[in-house]
Chains A and B, each alone.
Chain A
Amino acid sequence: MAHAYVPEIAIDREGNEHEVQGWQDDFYGGKLGFWLFMLTEVMMFGGMFLALAYYNTLHPQDYINASASLNRLLGGTNTVILLVSALTMGLGLLKMRVGDVKGAKLMIWATIILATAFLIIKGFEWTAEYHHGVFLMHDKLLADSTALPFGQKLFFGMYFTMTGLHGLHIIIGIGLMIWLLKRINANKVRQDHHILYWNIALYWDIVHLIWVFVFPYFYMIGAAGGTGGH
């Protein structure tokens, strides 16, 4: 059953009535809403960092030893990859804002390639750790295994959980960027209407931001050398 269109009326302080228009072009509202979403992300990862810090204070030496055994070359490479990808995403948005649509699309593709490279490197890293017997619900991390001290099991449990969740965000980011390309091709995202691009760029920045803390906490706290590891 079809409904008749009933305009929504807003009344200003002087008592004048105004018909409420669509909010498709409410740039600030769109941005503010996305920031609120990102704050929930901060709280979610904040809770995980809290658990990580809690276990760390209980087992400090195990954390340092476990951290020392991680591959800092691969972790560092991924750090630089994400850093450059944040630049390409930002430059792409800038190009879109000045009307260079082709340049903007090229920058999105560059970001997608960098994001994929990040995942491939992470895949190599996880595979190597699996072959060392270190993986969730596997070999040395099993509850009855005595191959690793308990604190290291906690460390690696948090490591796989947090880098895994971060990796999931990367995959979602790639999906969003492909969707963004489709919207640009359909002329739904353009120079005068680019809030979607803006918010996906923000999303990519928060993914980068989370890694800025994940990387040193897992890879660098034992960089001066531990006394073992897996």
Chain B
Amino acid sequence: MDTKTIDYQKERVVYYKVLVGLLLLTAVTFVQPHMFMTHSTFLAQMLIAVAKAWLIVMYYMHLKGEKLIGASVIFALFLVAVFFVIVIGVDVPNFQYATDSYITSAPNAN
């Protein structure tokens, strides 16, 4: 069983504060393409998403203070990131079969 004693009012306030933070970040998601980093929309959107994800994981998923689970999460994310770097950072720029691949040379591909 969960042996932690909890302060209902205090935890409830944290939940509402996180909700406000997430709503604000969602609002930023909508105004960003017209207000800032307009030439890097993808990067800006992903940065906002990471900030939202951090709030959710730390406070809604109670990962704050969980060392073992936190380390497992970081390890899993690291593995995913390694594959991203290999595929997007290394494989795509050095792709040697662009003219042979249907994905890159389909009749109406651009």
Residues of A within 8 A of B (CB): 25, 27, 31-32, 35-36, 39, 42-43, 46-47, 50, 53-55, 57-59, 61-62, 72, 76, 79-80, 83-84, 86-87, 90-91, 94-95, 97-98, 146, 148-151, 154, 192-195, 198, 202, 205-206, 208-209, 212-213, 215-217, 220-221, 223-224
Contact = CB atoms under 8 A, between A and B. Distances in A.
A32 B84 contact: no
Contacts of B88: 50, 53-54, 57
Given A35-B69, A146-B108, A150-B106, A208 B56 contact: yes
Contacts of A72: 30
Contacts of A57: 88, 92
Contacts of A94: 6, 8, 11-12, 15
Interface string B6-38: 101001100110110011001001101110001
Contacts of B73: 35, 39, 42
A2 B108 CA distance: 69
B107 interface: yes
A192 B103 contact: no
A193 B1 contact: yes
B83 A50 contact: yes
B33 A220 contact: yes
Could you say which of B3, B42, B48, B103 has the most chain A C-beta atoms within 10 Å of its C-beta?
A: B42
B87 A212 contact: no
B42 A54 contact: no
A41 B57 CA distance: 14
Contacts of B11: 94
Contacts of B83: 46-47, 50
Nearest to A42: B76
Nearest to A39: B76
Contacts of A148: 108
A193 B61 CA distance: 18
B33 A224 contact: yes
Contacts of B60: 86, 90, 205, 208
Contact of B45 (A54, A59, A209, A221): A221
Contacts of B41: 220-221, 223-224
Contacts of B61: 202, 205-206, 209
A198 B30 CA distance: 32
A60 to B, nearest CB: 9
Contacts of A209: 53, 56-57, 61
Contacts of B22: 83
